[in-house]
Amino acid sequence: MAAHVSPPHLRLSFDDLPKTHVFTSRLPPDPAFPTPLESHNAPRESLGPRLVKGALFTYVRPEPAKEPELLAVSQAALRDIGLGEGAEKTEEFKDVVSGNKILGWSGETGEGIYPWAQCYGGFQFGSWAGQLGDGRAISLFEATNPITNVRYEIQLKGAGKTPYSRFADGKAVLRSSIREFIVSEALHALSIPTTRALSLTLLPHSKVQRERLEPGAIVTRFAESWLRIGTFDILRARGDRGLIRKLSTYVAENVFGGWGNLPAKLTADQNGADDTTRGVPERDIEGNPGEEENRFARLYREIVRRNAKTVAAWQAYAFTNGVLNTDNTSLYGLSIDFGPFAFLDNFDPNYTPNHDDHMLRYSYRNQTTIIWWNLVRLGESLAELFGAGSRVDDEEFIEKGVQENNTDELIKRAEGIISRAGEEYKAVFLAEYKRLLTARLGLKTQKHSDFQQLFSELLDTMSALELDFHHFFRKLSSVKLVELESENGREEVAGRFFHREGPSGIGITEKSARKRVGDWLAAWRARALEDWGENKDSEREIAMKAVNPKFILRSWILDELIQRVERRGEREILHRVLNMALHPFNEEWAGDREEEERFCGDVPRLQRAMQCSCSS
């Protein structure tokens, strides 16, 4: 068999990729270790937990790992970073992803790219938690894919203590690492913005104490940016105005590619959902007196818009993060930090995967509201900058900030910007949510009545009848419209959406359930006919199956996977599940057919809506 050769434009080694460290060269380092050499020459113990002020990161190297075992690599991730198939087979790759090799730095000259951990804070469950930071994550370098030109920050999670480890050990257990590794790639395959995972490495000599003694592991992950709302929170809590300005400028210029890429102020008749105009020159002030928006307002609105789209995708694919603290809310609008996350099984809006979230703060239903709550915290951090309006670049303002004689005006302007951003958040969320649900229902157009008659009614029905959310959409894809012509036909088809044991739910009988789903199918059929016309079932099925996954990375599958890898020493199963997660719309995967059907079939009754703790 011919060996698989990577296309020439993909590189076979990290060393061949264009690498940078823009983050560390643009933002201030921990004053205790201002250069890589000073950090490198310090005993590793001296890089332990403490408060780090006036800085956004500390240079810190990963702890060496003894006999690491590379368990899995995502080929999609490899490609997206700019590496070709086979790159993962080298010793260099294994050394880098296990933290044993620092690429691009010379210990002799002290020049080059040295690893770092970020400083951030956060509001956790609604309360200020103080300094957090990368307590077990260490970034290695930024690599730019030579074809797409997308730059990613490559990071290890579980590679040892940093100044931000607080009372913890800097490690990650295999269980949570498997979960993060696969879900990152699963979300990406569903086109949900997310941080990504390149590889999973087992540390056979690392035993980590959690609820029990567990094996340690490292996930090598990457993202366009690892900055979080919590990064601004800590600066605001410390009153560090200078750094807030510097970080904002960094985000606009180096994360979003320039001030000109940010959204222009909305006109009065725009509802905010349409893609806004961009390209406003950096120093331009937009809007009438009192409502002036400077470049920092545009930056805020960009972050708001990105997060609105991401939450919309979570809601449309029934994904729950489980711990939406501000340190887990990305400035780039990515899904980030995968602790007790889950995809819903049955549609239950009150579901939270987080065993410890008794108030349901982070339940599925609350995600949209909570992300807005987090974005208001960000608004408060940026308020002085966007509240200053046209004075934002005056020397006096830069030096002294708000003065008594202009406080009221500044606050009023800032409040107006946050409030309008809230409207924009709602509009962008709704537009994206409707777009996704419209596609999932196989419709080509949107009608005003769809929201109530199709979306809401479907979700209410699923919830009342305790139907499986994901199976509903996939199964709907292959329903033929002719099957739905008569009431009898519709009630017959309705049975396909029930669990094996039949419909459940308070006060529900088999008959009432069939009637309710049948009625919904009648409304859906009418809309599908309107959009497609007669005899277009096959085309509609193809379109629907391209957006309605057959495979969803459910909690029970992850549990089985973890058991088999950790307890039974299996390895191949990891590759099979990863492959399914990377190609969720396939009909089959050329793996173990029986296993595939089991993973895609009815969720075992006692394993639905599982929860897990935050321990990781």
Ligand X SMILES: Nc1ncnc2c1ncn2[C@@H]1O[C@H](COP(=O)(O)OP(=O)(O)OP(=O)(O)O)[C@@H](O)[C@H]1O
Task: Find tokens 């009637």 and name the residue.
Answer: 515
User: Quick one: 337 or 596, whose CB is closer to ligand X?
Assistant: 337
377 in Cβ contact with 307 (< 8 Å):
no
Q: Shortest approach of ligand X to residue 230 CB, angstroms?
A: 8
522 in Cβ contact with 510 (< 8 Å):
no
Q: What is the CA radius of gyration of the chain?
A: 25
493 in Cβ contact with 484 (< 8 Å):
yes
- For residues 142 and 138, what is the distance between their CA atoms, to the nearest angstrom? 12
User: Rule CB under 6 A: which of 63-102 touch ligand X?
Assistant: none
Which residue in 38, 95, 169, 356 binds ligand X (CB under 6 A)? 169
User: Quick one: 88 or 214, whose CB is closer to ligand X?
Assistant: 214
Residue 157's DSSP bridge partners are: 137, 219
User: Quick one: 137 or 402, whose CB is closer to ligand X?
Assistant: 137
H/E run at residue 308 = helix 295-316
Task: Find tokens 């497609």 and name the residue.
Answer: 532
Q: Shortest approach of ligand X to residue 539 CB, angstroms?
A: 41
User: Rule CB under 6 A: which of 331-390 touch ligand X?
Assistant: 337, 339
Q: Shortest approach of ligand X to residue 172 CB, angstroms?
A: 7
Query: Which tokens belong to 360?
Result: 């349901």
Q: Shortest approach of ligand X to residue 133 CB, angstroms?
A: 5
User: Quick one: 133 or 549, whose CB is closer to ligand X?
Assistant: 133
For the chain, what percentages of helix, strand and coil (3-state, to nearest 5) are there?
45, 15, 40
x/- string (CB under 6 A) for ligand X, residues 465-504? ----------------------------------------
Which residue in 29, 170, 263, 333 binds ligand X (CB under 6 A)? 170
- Nearest Cα neighbor of 584 from 550, 554, 556 is 550
x/- string (CB under 6 A) for ligand X, residues 124-143? --------xxxxxx------
Active site residue: 30, 134, 327, 345, which one? Answer: 327
Q: Shortest approach of ligand X to residue 67 CB, angstroms?
A: 21
User: Quick one: 169 or 460, whose CB is closer to ligand X?
Assistant: 169
Q: Determine the distance from the C-alpha atom of residue 329 to the mean position of all C-alpha atoms in its chain, rounded to a whole number.
A: 8
Q: Shortest approach of ligand X to residue 371 CB, angstroms?
A: 15
Give the residue at shortest CB distance from ligand X. Answer: 135
For residue 170, give the 3-state DSSP assignment: coil
Q: Shortest approach of ligand X to residue 337 CB, angstroms?
A: 3
The answer to the question of residue 529 lying near ligand X (CB under 6 A) is no
The answer to the question of residue 196 lying near ligand X (CB under 6 A) is no
The DSSP line for 524-557 is: HHHHHHHHH-SS-HHHHHHHHHTTS-S----HHH
User: Quick one: 141 or 551, whose CB is closer to ligand X?
Assistant: 141
Residue type, 27: L
User: Quick one: 323 or 521, whose CB is closer to ligand X?
Assistant: 323
Residue 482: CA count within 13 A, CB half-sphere? 5
The Cα angle at residue 311 between residues 310 and 315, in degrees rounded to 5: 120
How many CB atoms are closer than 10 A to CB 3?
Answer: 6
Which residue in 40, 151, 171, 608 binds ligand X (CB under 6 A)? 171
The answer to the question of residue 293 lying near ligand X (CB under 6 A) is no
Judging by beta carbons within 10 Å of its beta carbon (0-12, 13-18, 19+), is residue 5 exposed, middle or buried? Answer: exposed
- For residues 388 and 486, what is the distance between their CA atoms, to the nearest angstrom? 64
The Cα angle at residue 559 between residues 553 and 565, in degrees rounded to 5: 105
Judging by beta carbons within 10 Å of its beta carbon (0-12, 13-18, 19+), is residue 295 exposed, middle or buried? Answer: buried
- For residues 530 and 497, what is the distance between their CA atoms, to the nearest angstrom? 24
User: Quick one: 176 or 315, whose CB is closer to ligand X?
Assistant: 176
- For residues 557 and 578, what is the distance between their CA atoms, to the nearest angstrom? 11
User: Quick one: 143 or 323, whose CB is closer to ligand X?
Assistant: 323
Q: Shortest approach of ligand X to residue 314 CB, angstroms?
A: 17
192 in Cβ contact with 131 (< 8 Å):
no
Query: Can you give the length of the chain in residues?
Result: 616
Determine the size of the site formed for ligand X (CB under 6 A): 17
User: Quick one: 255 or 417, whose CB is closer to ligand X?
Assistant: 255
512 in Cβ contact with 502 (< 8 Å):
no
x/- string (CB under 6 A) for ligand X, residues 304-333? -------------------x----x-----
Active site residue 327: yes
Q: Which residues are catalytic?
A: 327
Return residues touching ligand X (CB under 6 A): 132-137, 164-165, 168-171, 323, 328, 337, 339, 616
